[in-house]
Amino acid sequence: MTSYPSTKKGDTVTNHFGTNVADPYRWLEDDRSAETENWVKEQNKTTFNYLDKIPFRKDIKERLEKLWNYEKLGSPFKEGNYTYFSKNNGLQNQSVIYRRKDGKEEVFLDPNKFSEDGTTSLAGLSFSNDGSLVAYSISEGGSDWRKIIVLNTETNTIVEDTLVDVKFSGVSWKNNEGFYYSSYDKPKGSELSAKTDQHKLYYHKLGTPQKTDQVVFGAIPEEKHRYVGGNVTKDGKYLVISASVSTSGNKLFLKDLETNKRITILDNTDTDTYVIENVGSKLYLVTNMNAPNRKVVTVDATKPSPENWVDFIPETENVISPSTGGGYFFANYMVDAISKVMQYDYEGKLVRDIELPGIGSAGGFGGKKEDKEFYFSFTNYSRPGSSYSYNVETGKYKQYWKPEIDYNPEDYESKQVFYASKDGTKVPMIITYKKGLELNGKNPTILYGYGGFNVSLTPSFSIANAVWMEQGGVYAVPNIRGGGEYGKKWHNAGIKTQKQNVFDDFIAASEYLIENKYTSSDYLAISGGSNGGLLVGATMTQRPDLMKVALPAVGVLDMLRYHTFTAGAGWAYDYGTAEDSKEMFNYLLGYSPVHNVKKGTTYPATLITTGDHDDRVVPAHSFKFAAELQGKQAGANPTLIRIETNAGHGAGTPISKTIEQYADIFGFTLYNMGYEELPNKTVLKDFKE
């Protein structure tokens, strides 16, 4: 039985609508205290002592490194006189931006030189219209706080002082004079956990100090918005401003950059609507107003309110994600989470159905209006992503790049099944595994889910999952409610007091895999990150008997306090808050993972993962959950927490750290399923010889 560091209990109690709730580990929320820092060190020491004893962990790491070590190329794009693309030689911590002109290729930006350990990453890249300037943003240690640096692309020299303290922001240029960006006032407390509540849109004029940047939107305290963004239309005519109080729903405004007049398109946050294109004053909007699966409408900028909208690409039974390029619209539909793409002209006439390279996920299909050729990507769970060059006039495409990888996709297969959830709702799930799999209930299986924020899980290849499947592992992904696979209705069926539907869908997926002998409770692991970490935490506390291993990553686990940290209050559309009403408080208390760990219960072997610089879902969620599990676990199953230092919510994590983390997760999972050696040692033997 694992021995854990002692975690002191405080006497903090909060009262919600007359109910007292103990919060004994509140002190772990202070990410700047020496006491919390010491706790992190002791927990990591315990965790790595355990992981070091796993006999095949090193073998998994070596196989991950071997498989990961292939050249990866991003789709090229044209800016000014150059064609830019990203490339990773194999195991570089960060991908490098290259460019070419007249057949000559050169490194433009190498994020591996931003920091010695690879923990500073490139977080965004925005070129001015003529391509002569670029503003790129960097993230240090995985934080959501960014810095913006401006370069002259011809000389590759920095042109002004670095902008700091930028968060949840794009960069949109106004000619070559300056650009729009968004941020919050720096919080008075910890910048990694203190609440950030009022987002503002700024205009930065090149060559002037950041402190003189003008607030364009969001300065009025009573008009508080948590997420504000501004984009200049491609012709430079309008600034489009979107303002939201949560992660769902937005107001929409248009500012004429010649007259400076601001026009309201939508003055409420009841829908998700954005401008995708304009031709002069004719606007093309994507909206889910009276269209849960989204549609494209047109309207004139002088009278842009909804009563004047005209359907351009009407709503269908499938969710649409449109893009533009080469003088056409491309409607990327999700049909049971699988891509189908159709091309339209600017009059709304269907040009063609595009026959994709297979069944899976297509991305891209976008470029400048004058481009007659651009690129799209294609992938699925068993097929590594490749890119294709597409001719907009003929509809023909050819493979531009295919990875040279030590892996044969023909050895694997994916099967889509539909199963019934607790209330009878049909839910799709894609199960991927090595061909010839024996349905004997003994296959190590990872069930991965998310189920929130209108996010859709579509098929995509993962090197880590390829290593898992090489070992005879099954990888299953259900498209549960709360996601966006079937539009706004599917999302809304998994929010607030409907959130239990999400957990029920995930539990039913587990039961399907067990009933159909893909696996059994002794060989099932459940996995998810962020909102998916909440999914794992809630499922394992509600049905600890169902799985052998639980892997909650960077999870939202304290549902009574999530909204008090950083931008957490913006998630209230999905969750509701404990302050909303007595009913909402009781509902959250009923499933909040931190509050539903019961003493004397045998929980599955659990490896919680988080980063000490995670300022999206603060690590205190994971710290408190780990403390509760360690204090109350009845059986011998280990409950450990792995805290990555100098790392955030996941984006920009160096490849070296990602590989180490997967080796630990897979090693922990298989070891706790009873394996003393790897199920498929021949793979390791082959690659070592």
pLDDT (tens digit per residue) in 206-242: 999 999 999 999 988 767 898 999 999 999 999 999 9
Decide if pLDDT at 338 tops 80. yes
Tell me the pLDDT tens digit for each residue of 654-688: 899 999 999 999 999 999 999 999 998 765 545 44
Instruction: State the pLDDT at residue 435.
Output: 96
Q: Is 621 annotated in the active site?
A: no
Tell me the pLDDT tens digit for each residue of 509-528: 999 999 999 999 999 999 99
Selection from 252, 233, 455 nearest residue 324 by Cα:
233
Structure tokens at 620: 């205190």
Residue 71 vs residues 66, 96, 107: alpha-carbon distances, Å:
12, 11, 15
Distance CA 575, CA 548 (A): 28
Instruction: Label the pairing between strands 474-478 and 310-313.
Output: unpaired
Q: Which helix (H) or strand (E) holds 120?
A: strand 120-127
Mean pLDDT for the chain? 94
Decide if pLDDT at 339 tops 60. yes
Q: Which pLDDT band, with edges at 50, 70 and 90, does 689 fall under?
A: very low
- Average of per-residue pLDDT across 372-377: 95
| Secondary structure percentages of the chain, helix, strand, coil, to 5 | 25, 35, 45
Instruction: State the pLDDT at residue 111.
Output: 94
- Average of per-residue pLDDT across 415-427: 98
Decide if pLDDT at 492 tops 70. yes
Considering 387, 530, 592, 622, which one is annotated as catalytic? 530
Q: Which pLDDT band, with edges at 50, 70 and 90, does 381 fall under?
A: very high
Instruction: State the pLDDT at residue 683.
Output: 56
Instruction: State the pLDDT at residue 687.
Output: 45
Tell me the pLDDT tens digit for each residue of 528-539: 999 999 999 999
Selection from 439, 463, 444 nearest residue 655 by Cα:
463
Distance CA 72, CA 265 (A): 42
Q: Which pLDDT band, with edges at 50, 70 and 90, does 564 fall under?
A: very high
Instruction: State the pLDDT at residue 682.
Output: 63
Distance CA 137, CA 148 (A): 4
Are 400 and 384 within 8 A, CB to CB?
A: no
Tell me the pLDDT tens digit for each residue of 125-153: 999 999 999 999 999 888 888 999 999 99
Instruction: State the pLDDT at residue 187.
Output: 79
Q: Which pLDDT band, with edges at 50, 70 and 90, does 192 fall under?
A: confident
Residue 670 gets the label, from left (phi > 0), alpha (psi -120 to 50) or beta, of: alpha
Selection from 225, 230, 234, 232 nearest residue 242 by Cα:
230
Q: In the chain, pLDDT over 70 holds for what percent of residues?
A: 97
Decide if pLDDT at 594 tops 50. yes
Tell me the pLDDT tens digit for each residue of 23-34: 999 999 998 899
Decide if pLDDT at 194 tops 70. no
Decide if pLDDT at 303 tops 80. yes
Q: Which pLDDT band, with edges at 50, 70 and 90, does 563 fall under?
A: very high
In angstroms and rounded to an integer, the radius of gyration of the C-alpha atoms of the chain is: 25
Are 23 and 13 within 8 A, CB to CB?
A: yes
Instruction: Label the pairing between strands 373-379 and 238-244.
Output: unpaired
Structure tokens at 606: 């659990």
Phi, psi of 577 (to 5 degrees): -125, 160
- Average of per-residue pLDDT across 502-507: 98
Phi, psi of 328 (to 5 degrees): -140, 160
Choose between 190 and 440: higher pLDDT.
440
Instruction: State the pLDDT at residue 467.
Output: 97
Distance CA 475, CA 527 (A): 10
Distance of CA 361 to the CA centre of its chain: 16
Q: Is 649 annotated in the active site?
A: yes
Distance CA 443, CA 226 (A): 45
Distance CA 566, CA 564 (A): 7
- Average of per-residue pLDDT across 181-185: 92
Structure tokens at 71: 């050249």
Distance of CA 327 to the CA centre of its chain: 30
Q: Which helix (H) or strand (E) holds 97?
A: strand 96-101
Supply the pTM of this predicted model.
0.93
